Amino acid sequence: MPFKTIAARRHRIPKQRHRVTNWAEYDAAWRQRGSLTVWFSEEAIAAWRAEPRSTRGGQPHYSALAIRTALTLRAVFRLALRQTEGLIGSILRLLGLDLVVPDHSTLSRRAETLEVPRPISRAGPVHLVVDSSGLRLCGPGEWLVEKHGTRRHRSWRKLHIGVDAHTGQILASELTTSDVDDGSQVEPLLDQISGPLASFTGDGAYDQEGIYGNVAERHPEAHVIVPPGSTAVPSDMAESTPTQRDRHLHSIAEHGRVGWQKRSGYTRRTLVEPPSAASNE
């Protein structure tokens, strides 16, 4: 990112200050952030109860829409199942709706088989941004560390993901061991992209000749936006038939790395930088 390039001179950059000129509007905007409005459309009210089934077995009382609504509120407010049941009940009473509230046992049982509709993908070519992050795996041995203070070898995995720069949707993912090179997982990630690709963006770890070839083989019109290394040199054919990497080097030499990042769209890579996370195994 740009701030990494100018880190040595960052203390000379004055901090941005935004002066508030309309305090009434400023206060109202902050109050609005805490405002909560919930309503049920006529279609949702009509579809709250499940349609009767014609096959053998008990009749369901709640539609998938009702269960999905309750579980969505649970995820948003980070509630337990019983608290979710109470929240749905209070909302229905406040709105004056004569709808039955799903109990916590039903929510737990239906959540296992509930089908969640996938978000609609954006039409047109995808701007794919890729990166990797380390995951620390905790096994049964963690109890020994807490109980006896013993130390044990930590196990790590590496998560490789590809994200649509416009929607933020994860389109591809691969989980490997920690010693796997990032560039080696570009081909498996590209295999999971069904639609056309407009651009492929990654950090310096993807500055490999094979990656340019993998992207060009599947998506000839896609732009590869990867920063060349500080010691990178143009190819032998840079003057006659420059490659994408040669054009990046020319742009860096003309506008600097910060200018190249802004012109090429490399700044979109911040959308995919995943924080390191711990996972139980």
Residue 30 lies inside a defined structural domain of this protein:
no
In terms of domains, do 61 and 160 share one? no
pLDDT at 278 over 50: no
pTM: 0.59
Residue 128 pLDDT grade (very low, low, confident, very high; cuts 50, 70, 90): very high
Q: pLDDT (tens digit, 9 = 90+) per residue, 204-232? A: 889 988 899 999 999 999 999 999 988 88
In terms of domains, do 262 and 209 share one? yes
User: Which of 19, 38, 10, 156 is closest to 95 using CA atoms?
Assistant: 38
* Range of the structural domain that residue 94 is part of: 42-111
Mean pLDDT (the chain, rounded): 84
In terms of domains, do 158 and 222 share one? yes
Which two structure tokens, joined as six digits, stand for 85?
A: 């049941």
In terms of domains, do 156 and 133 share one? yes
Res 280: pLDDT? 40
Q: How far apart, in whole angstroms, are the C-alpha atoms of residue 270 and residue 141?
A: 35
Residue 41 backbone dihedrals phi, psi, to 5 degrees = -75, 165
Average pLDDT (250-279) is 77
Tell how many helices (H) and how many strands (E) occur in the chain: 10, 6
Q: pLDDT (tens digit, 9 = 90+) per residue, 50-109? A: 887 777 767 778 999 999 999 999 999 999 999 999 999 999 999 999 999 999 999 999
Q: Which of 4-8, 45-49, 167-171 has the highest mean pLDDT?
A: 45-49
Residue 80 lies inside a defined structural domain of this protein:
yes
In terms of domains, do 162 and 273 share one? yes
| Domain end marker among 63, 85, 111 | 111
pLDDT at 18 over 90: no
In terms of domains, do 99 and 142 share one? no
Residue 279 pLDDT grade (very low, low, confident, very high; cuts 50, 70, 90): very low
38-47, 186-195, 244-253, 264-273 — which is least confidently predicted? 264-273
102 exposure class (CB count in 10 Å sphere: 0-12, 13-18, 19+): buried
> Do residues 169 and 163 touch, judged by C-beta distance below 8 A?
yes
Residue 33 pLDDT grade (very low, low, confident, very high; cuts 50, 70, 90): confident
Give the three-state DSSP class for 233. Answer: coil
In terms of domains, do 135 and 201 share one? yes
Residue 79 lies inside a defined structural domain of this protein:
yes
In terms of domains, do 142 and 214 share one? yes
pLDDT at 138 over 70: no
The CATH number covering residue 269 comes to 3.30.420
Q: Which residues 6+ apart lie within 8 Å of 149 measured at CB?
A: none
Q: pLDDT (tens digit, 9 = 90+) per residue, 186-204? A: 999 999 998 899 999 999 8
Res 134: pLDDT? 85
Residue 276 pLDDT grade (very low, low, confident, very high; cuts 50, 70, 90): very low
